[in-house]
Amino acid sequence: MKKITVLSTILAAMMLANAGSAMAESHLINKDVKLVKRDTKKVELRINQPNVGTLDVELKDKEGVIVYAGEVKGNENVTTQFNLNALPSGTYYLNCSNDGFWSSQELSIENGNVEINENSYKEVIIPQVESIGLNRFAVTTSNKNVADLGVAILNLAGEVVYDGYLSNANRFNLGHLASGEYVFEFTVADKIFKQYVKVK
């Protein structure tokens, strides 16, 4: 695990400013969290859904070292600006998450200029687990640009009884397992979502 590092000079340089302004841009429709370039080394984080909620925000470098960590109180049309002047050249990832949501956007700084990789946006809304019969469960997902959403099923002792990946819809028959409570753990990058079920 990478050591979490928060550079004081970067913290001092990252000015956060919330505003309620919104601009109609058609390319925002498919992204609940969107990065927009505002200046040579400034970006604006926009939340485009009213139900996303408060988000933990982390900016990581390519090695996974956290160079900024904070919180954005999300709501539709809320914007937050980041001044990246103190960051050296390189590739970075802005990750936003809470108990029910995760997104990631790649950006790069080169020759004193920030560029946002528009095609790198990834998003996962917590998968839903629904009982469809005795000890049978259906899992539905709402992902954007994520093909490797992992799923593991564990008992309460932490023992893994299933490990694999999800497609858009999956069904699980847990009738062969001992009665009790189990947890579905859905993993994308370093984010884990949990949903609990009971086997009878």
Per CATH, 8-120 and 127-199 having the same topology is answered yes
Q: Which residues contact 50 (CB under 8 A, 6 or more apart)?
A: 75, 76
Report the topology of domain 127-199. Immunoglobulin-like (2.60.40)
3-state secondary structure of 6: coil
3-state helix/strand/coil string of 92-124: EEEEEEECCEEEEEEEEEECCEEEECHHHCEEE
pLDDT at 169: 59
Report the topology of domain 8-120. Immunoglobulin-like (2.60.40)
Q: What is this structure's pTM?
A: 0.79
Rounded to the nearest integer, the mean pLDDT of the chain is 82
Q: Model confidence over 93-133: pLDDT tens digits?
A: 999 999 999 999 999 999 889 999 989 999 999 999 999 99
**Where do the structural domains in the chain lie, given as residue ranges?**
8-120, 127-199
